[in-house]
Structure 1
Amino acid sequence: MIGSRKSKKRRKRQRFFTMITTFFIILLIFTAGYSLFVYRSFQKTLDTVHEPLEDREISEKRTSQPVLEKKHPFSVLLLGVDERKNDKGRSDTIIVLAVNPDRNSVEMISIPRDTKTEMVGKGKEDKINHAYAFGGINMALQSVENLLDIPIDYYIKVNMEGFQDIVDAVGGIQVDNQLDFVYEGTHFKKGSLTLNGQDALKYSRMRKLDPRGDFGRQERQRKVIQGVIKKGASLSSLWKYQEIFYALGENVRTNLTFNEMKDIQKRYKDAAHNITQIEVKGTSQKMNGIYYFIVADDEKKRIRKLLRTQLDLENLAELREMDTSSHSFYGINLNEYSFQTR
């Protein structure tokens, strides 16, 4: 009798264990299938946002495109474009990221929108944010390359007017606000704020009430973008993927391919933990009734040196000077390697 009871209890435990195991297997299969579905949906979205540059395969400042599989340093231009109905808009947010996986670091520079520089292709100087209005992504990218004297390998353009759709799609975001202000009827108090799409757009647009002007606005825009990335990557946003992907498809454009994004996520993710911001120093000057942000030549040299070193362009240029005809040095093909400056 005792043995029979033990046997029954053991069978019950086994049935219970089998039931629980089966439940988790079914849940795992469902999750894997769901993840695959989301993955495929994300891939379709990236096909929509992918927009190659016209008449340009690589930058004129490079002899070959960085190979992400080999973990070459690369650069990205982030443009926040204020596009409205019947208006092409201007790139009010201009951020350049120089990524170096060997150093596990990212150098980030926010270029003030009023910076006076050459509009490459137009033959005149103007505010850097007008380049997009004059010649779209190509002129904006070439003008930034000319200003910083570095190649820009990739771009990501975000329509700031539609950015509120992205914020709403992830269910709102949280930011740590350092400035108490009222803008367009909304009071933004100091401290942690939860913002919906409309408020996030207001928060990122205000400039004149900030003592730091454009620099203050750039910082708030970065906080909003970081808030979206953090919320979008959370588990709670998984079930909203259709809304998120739709908002991204409507408001984001990039020349990065799906495979390139996968390579960056796989091989460069550690660099994202070490971001250093380069501050652009200059003076505000009024010319013909228009205010410009003027960057002195010495400041340009300082910034260019930092970015070129980060992208391993300084040593590469020095080595190439040793044999400009064959681009080789003691049998090494310099086009295939990145050299680090320590």
Structure 2
Amino acid sequence: MSRRKKWTLIIGIPLLIIIVGVGSYAGYLYNKTENMVSNSQEKTGRENETSELRNEAVNPVEDNVSVLFIGVDNSEFRNEKQSRSDALILATFNKQNSSVKLLSIPRDSYVYVPEVDRYTKINHAHFFGGPKATIETVENFLHVPVDYYAKMNFEGFIDVVNTLDGITYDVPYEIWESDSEDDKNSIHLMPGEQHLNGEEALALARTRKYDSDVARGKRQQQILKSIANKVTSASSVFKLGETIDAIGDNLTTSLSFDDMKDFLSYGLDESISIETVNLDGSGGYMEDGLWYYQIDEESKQNVQADLRGHLNLKENIQTSDYAQEEEGNSTY
């Protein structure tokens, strides 16, 4: 055998094995994700699965769309559909700018809940009617269409972070917090940049006794960004299978597998920008003896205009009803 052929075999065979291996792993992940999404999919029950604030259905490939992320606490109510939402983040995706905006909605925000026809905390909407009632409440509150939703419980959050071998985060202050089993003060973190496991990351995301609901929302946004960065890092490539398992066991979503594939362009775009948006306001007790967060009206209107503009919707809206002039499939 010639020297050249020997080197061809020495270099080529291992390279071929790697290529086949990566291809097989990619196919494995593809099938695994497809099965996970299929098992996790749960429609909202809306007509044609389309927001009333849209004239027609949207497609993530062609349109600017939104996804409502719902974090639920099952420690108090084992029936997930009768649990309160502990975190609400509305994400808007703009195809033209390859950008994402994340709005964290304080869980104690005093809003109108259509499901029960009265004002109460926004996190109660999920208890009264699951994702559908939560979506209707958010849409009524912001007049921004919610095209899809994805709901995950605390166990899923913990499992994902642990599967990724934790995340690095700059803890702003010393905290004592309960863990996911409500074991009081079982989580103790000191200020500074450090490595957090799933329970620690959850405790930091949940705590709200050291600052405010707005600050809590900002922490949640930053923690989600840290998780996203870890998932897309080279070091996590061979942990994706475990991550999919961790998500699949704890996820409910209206997104189909094809829908999720349509979002792939955002993840592959190195120039993508992620911006956080927040609602200003103040908290206090009301006549019923409960503490509520009152959203500042000017801040609310600014956020409405910001998110609607990001979705290429008309900025001028009527808050009394949803009747508006038609403008393509992007308005109501």
TM-score class, shorter-chain normalisation, is: 0.7 to 0.9
Q: More helix per residue: 1 or 2?
A: 1
Report Cα offsets for 1:232-278 as digits up to 9, x if no partner: 33343333344322211111221111111111212675498323322
- How far did 1:136 drift? 0.6
Q: Distance in 2 between matches of 1:133 and 1:185?
A: 27
Instruction: Report the equivalent of 1:82.
Output: 73
Equivalent runs, 1:326-341 vs 2, <5 Å:
334-335=327-328
CA contact (8 A) 1:46 1:249 kept: yes
What does 1:202-221 correspond to in 2, within 5 Å? 202-208=203-209, 210-211=210-211, 213-221=212-220
State the one-letter code of the partner of 1:30.
Answer: G
- Corresponding residue pairs, total: 314
Percent identity between the two aligned chains = 30
Residue in structure 1 matching 2:120, options 107, 117, 126 = 126
Show the counterpart of 1:60. 52
C-alpha separation between the residues in 1 aligned to 2:46 and 2:58? 18
CA separation of 1:270 and 1:315: change in aligned 2, threshold 3 A: farther
Residue of structure 2 in register with 1:105 after alignment: 99
**Residue deviations 1:170-190 (CA, integer Å, cap 9, x gap):** 222221222232332333122
Contact 2:214 2:278 in 1 (8 A): no
Paired position in structure 2 for 1:299: 299
Q: Which runs of 5+ in 1 are unaligned?
A: 1-7, 328-333
SS of 1:314's partner is coil
Instruction: State the match for 2:14 in structure 1.
Output: 23
Deviation at 1:317, TM superposition (A): 7.9
Counterpart CA distance in 2 for 1:133 and 1:237 is: 35
Residue number in structure 1 paired with 2:182: none
Q: Name the CA distance, whole Å, in 1 between partners of 2:105 and 2:259.
A: 26
> Aligned to 1:69, what secondary structure does the other structure show?
coil
Aligned residue in 1 for 2:311: 311
Partner SS state of residue 230, structure 1: helix
Flag the 1:36–1:93 CA change in 2: closer, same or farther, 3 A.
Answer: same
Misfit runs of 4+, over 4 Å: 267-272, 315-318
CA RMSD of aligned residues (A): 2.6
> In the alignment, which residue of structure 2 is the partner of 1:199?
200
Unaligned runs of 5+ in 2: 178-184, 319-323
Q: Which TM-score applies when normalising by structure 1?
A: 0.83
CA contact (8 A) 1:106 1:271 kept: no
What residue is the counterpart of 2:283 in the other structure? 284
Amino acid at match of 2:191: K
Alpha-carbon distance, 1:135 to partner: 0.9
The equivalent of 1:227 in structure 2 is: 226
Write the distance in 2 (CA, Å) between the matches of 1:316 and 1:66: 21
